């Protein structure tokens, strides 16, 4: 488990509930990861995986497939859930995010109103252009580790975090999609 800083979080995590359920997808193929330049919504201008909010009536798996279709015109095959992320935000509603991986997909990654596709070498992931939390779980996820992360933000800055990996992380998931 990794934590920063040593002080306590101001969030009462036991009673914490996010307003926004969301998803992320990382397609990895031939030593490359399919990232996006996000053109709309939360994190506009950042590099991230495709994803977005879960619509009412959807589960996380249905939502991530729909978001990949909408944002990049691809349909990932057999997404595998790798982690959950809990973001306590200071200036936007809190987010609970399900993170998936896939190795194959149908379609050709295509620019849309929402995203530009960016195939990126696995050793050149641009963490400086991504959300600050990503560097604390994405490398481990790419090594095949399950994870559960809690992050407290002040604006776009992480002020507290706790990230667990492996089977103990999965035990902390709110939902097993
Ligand atoms: N700290 C963070 N780190 C991260 O890696 N991804 C984050 C993040 N905070 C939010 N996200 C991602 C998760 C999810 O893919 C996306 C949710 O916001 P969006 O505004 O993109 O949702 P939608 O694409 O559904 O947008 P709308 O259609 O405009 O509602 O932002």
Count up the domains in the chain and report the number: 1
Structure ipTM over 0.90, yes or no? yes
What is the structure's pLDDT at 168? Answer: 94
Torsions phi, psi for 132 (to 5 deg): -65, -30
Is residue 78 domain-resident?
A: yes
Taking the centre of ligand 1 as the mean of its atom positions, its distance from the CA of residue 109, in whole angstroms, is 19
Q: What is the CATH number of the domain that holds 106?
A: 3.90.79.10
Q: Is 51 in the pocket of ligand 1 (CB under 6 A)?
A: yes
At 4 the three-state DSSP class reads strand
Q: Hey, what are 153's tokens?
A: 């933000």
Q: Count of CB atoms within 10 A of residue 8's CB?
A: 7
Q: Count of CB atoms within 10 A of residue 110's CB?
A: 12
What average pLDDT does the segment 25-32 reach? 98
Is residue 177 domain-resident?
A: no
What average pLDDT does the segment 38-55 reach? 98
pLDDT tens figures, 74-117:
999 999 999 999 999 999 999 999 999 999 999 999 999 999 99
Q: pTM of the prediction?
A: 0.96
Element (H, E) at 159: strand 157-165
Taking the centre of ligand 1 as the mean of its atom positions, its distance from the CA of residue 47, in whole angstroms, is 11
Calculate ∠ Cα 121-122-128, nearest 5°.
Answer: 90
């Amino acid at each position: 488990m990794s934590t920063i800083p040593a002080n306590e979080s101001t969030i009462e995590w036991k009673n914490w509930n996010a307003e926004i359920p969301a998803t992320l997808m990382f397609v990895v193929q031939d030593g490359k990861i399919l990232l996006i330049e996000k053109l709309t919504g939360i994190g506009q201008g950042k590099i991230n995986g495709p994803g977005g909010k879960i619509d009412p009536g959807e589960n996380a798996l249905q939502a991530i497939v729909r978001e990949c279709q909408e944002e990049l015109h691809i349909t990932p095959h057999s997404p595998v859930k790798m982690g959950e992320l809990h973001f306590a935000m200071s200036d936007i509603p809190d987010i609970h995010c399900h993170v998936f991986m896939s190795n194959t997909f149908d379609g050709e990654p295509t620019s849309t109103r929402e995203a530009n596709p960016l195939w990126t070498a696995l050793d050149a992931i641009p963490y400086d252009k991504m959300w600050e939390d990503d560097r604390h779980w994405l490398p481990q996820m790419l090594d095949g580790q399950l994870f559960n992360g809690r992050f407290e933000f002040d604006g776009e800055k992480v002020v507290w975090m706790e990230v667990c990996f492996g089977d103990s992380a999965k035990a902390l998931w709110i939902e097993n999609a």
